[in-house]
């Protein structure tokens, strides 16, 4: 039975159920209180790149890498760590195009989202058109479209200059080289923007997009990811 069929059946048969243990959900959310509390929340983490920090690390302090080599974005919101149930949920969303998994990830992200000065525009990390056609699903664009609609923020699309090789298996420096000058924004941007991706691993992809956004006029740039891969 396909993932889409299973998702549809679950939504019909198990309304208000936790996506992780199928217990009754809390206040209409797709999780129960026990699972929500035990998810791998990304705390403590570097406020700039969201790199998970060891227990006891001072909250709000940038990691050594960001102090020595600041990224192109100013801060990151990545509330979860790519581990355990979150990693399984992400795989169902990214590789099987599961709308239920994507909706749960969005709900978890927005549950921890507080915006004192909301961005004026969202930009998804774009796939190259050839890669998007082959995959049949652009997960970052899917997330960004729904966040933009939910938050009432305009969505602006960037594009890839070339079909870069996959980042999988590359180290931090190789990832940066692979994506250097890899993105372009064809219109002027407002001062405050947020960049949206599903998973942040080293931050190289979001950094490359942030560089393109600064060239287009953005001055305050946030990176938004549903989850952060531990180093």
Residues 29, 114 within the same domain: no
What pTM, to 2 d.p., does this model score?
Answer: 0.86
pLDDT digits (tens, 9 = 90+) for 3-24: 455 445 444 444 678 999 989 9
State the virtual CA torsion across 61, 222, 192, 144 in degrees, nearest 10. Answer: -160
CA–CA distance, 113 with 53 (Å, rounded to integer): 20
The residue assigned the tokens 């947020």 is 194
4 and 65 together in one domain? no
Could you tell me if 100 and 154 lie in one domain? yes
Same domain flag for 7 and 50: no
Among 121, 126, 136, 120, smallest CA distance to 198 is for: 126
User: How high is the pLDDT of residue 6?
Assistant: 45
Question: Are residues 29 and 129 located together in one domain of the fold?
Answer: no
The whole-chain average pLDDT of the chain stands at 87
Q: Which of 204, 184, 230, 170 is CA-nearest to residue 72?
A: 204
* Residues 58 and 148 occupy one common structural domain: yes
Specify the number of domains making up the chain.
2
Range of the domain at 217: 41-228
Q: Are residues 21 and 121 in the same domain?
A: no
Number of helical H runs and strand E runs in the chain: 9, 8
Predicted local confidence at residue 9, as pLDDT: 46
**Same domain, yes or no: 34 and 45:** no
């Amino acid at each position: 039975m396909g993932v889409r069929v299973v998702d549809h059946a679950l939504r019909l048969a198990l309304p208000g159920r936790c996506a992780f243990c199928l217990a009754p959900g809390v206040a209409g959310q797709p999780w129960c209180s026990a699972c929500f509390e035990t998810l791998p929340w990304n705390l403590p983490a570097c406020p700039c790149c969201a790199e998970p920090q060891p227990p006891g690390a001072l909250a709000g302090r940038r990691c050594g890498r960001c102090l020595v080599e600041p990224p192109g974005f100013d801060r990151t919101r990545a509330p979860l760590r790519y581990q355990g149930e979150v990693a399984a949920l992400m795989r169902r969303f990214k590789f099987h195009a599961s709308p239920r998994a994507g909706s749960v990830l969005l709900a978890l992200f927005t549950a921890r989202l507080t915006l004192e000065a909301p961005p004026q525009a969202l930009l998804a990390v774009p796939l190259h058109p050839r890669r998007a056609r082959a995959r049949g699903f652009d997960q970052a664009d899917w997330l960004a479209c729904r966040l933009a609609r939910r938050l009432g923020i305009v969505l602006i699309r960037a594009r890839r200059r070339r079909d870069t090789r996959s980042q999988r298996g590359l180290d931090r420096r190789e990832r940066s080289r692979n994506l250097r000058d890899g993105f372009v924004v064809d219109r002027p941007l407002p001062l405050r923007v947020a960049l949206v991706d599903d998973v942040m691993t080293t931050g190289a992809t979001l950094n490359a997009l942030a560089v393109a956004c600064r060239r287009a006029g953005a001055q305050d740039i946030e990176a938004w990811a549903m989850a952060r891969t531990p180093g």
